[in-house]
Amino acid sequence: MGKTDEGYRKFKVSFHFIILSFAIGLIISTIVGFNDMERASLYLILGILFAGESIFGLYKNFNRRVVMQEENSNHF
């Protein structure tokens, strides 16, 4: 794995963490102000979708990392 691959992986992890924190903030703000907003259910669904996508991206990235580590350890 080269430096560019490692940098890209770090970027993807950082990006998914930022999106996840945005989604959690969106969900919390929607729940807190549910009665004051006209489209609260739409924002809640949007936040859940963002969070799900971000969690899936993080899982996929960490799962790929574990598989690559196992493959590297089996070669020696």
Predicted pLDDT at 48: 96
Quick one: DSSP state of residue 1?
-
At 6-61, the pLDDT tens digits run: 888 889 999 999 999 999 999 999 999 888 888 889 999 999 999 999 999 999 98
Q: Can you tell me the distance from the alpha carbon of 64 to that of 55, in angstroms, rounded to the nearest whole number?
A: 14
Beta carbons of 65 and 9 less than 8 angstroms apart: yes
* Predicted local distance difference test score (pLDDT) of residue 8: 87
How much is the pTM?
A: 0.77
Render 2-64 in DSSP notation, one character per residue: -HHHHHHHHHHHHHHHHHHHHHHHHHHHHHHTTTT-TTHHHHHHHHHHHHHHHHHHHHHHHHH
